[in-house]
Amino acid sequence: MGIMQTDRTLPSNRLIFEVRRDPALRERFTSDLEGLMADYGLSEPERRAFREIDIRALGDMGVHPYFLPQVTRLFKGAGYNHNQSEAAQLYARKMNIQE
């Protein structure tokens, strides 16, 4: 799940990269995740990982390590980008990180 295991061809990497930068895609991420995932050509395992916010599975598939915490921010917001934010807490739970 390190940077050397990143799969540059994995559709999830492009989806995360582009959704983070485009307000219209961010809105679609929250309102039509299934359609967005289909448009980006995500495999069923990738789709399941997004539905379940399974950060570890995404990492195991080859999502870039930088993007893994970004996934929880896409679901929970990035307004309070600190260790106690909902996004950071969700990331810690999903990755089994102890405080």
In order along the chain (99 residues), what is the average pLDDT of each group of 10 residues?
A: 85 97 96 98 98 96 94 83 81 79
pLDDT of res. 59: 94
Burial of residue 27, with CB atoms counted within 10 A of its CB: 0-12 exposed, 13-18 middle, 19 or more buried: exposed
Crossing angle for the helix pair 33-40 and 44-51, to the nearest 10 degrees: 150
The CA–CA distances, whole Å, from 69 to 38, 41, 56 equal: 22, 22, 11
Q: Closest by alpha carbon to 17, among 61, 70, 57? A: 70
pLDDT of res. 79: 66
| Domains by residue range for the chain, with CATH | 3-94 (1.10.700)
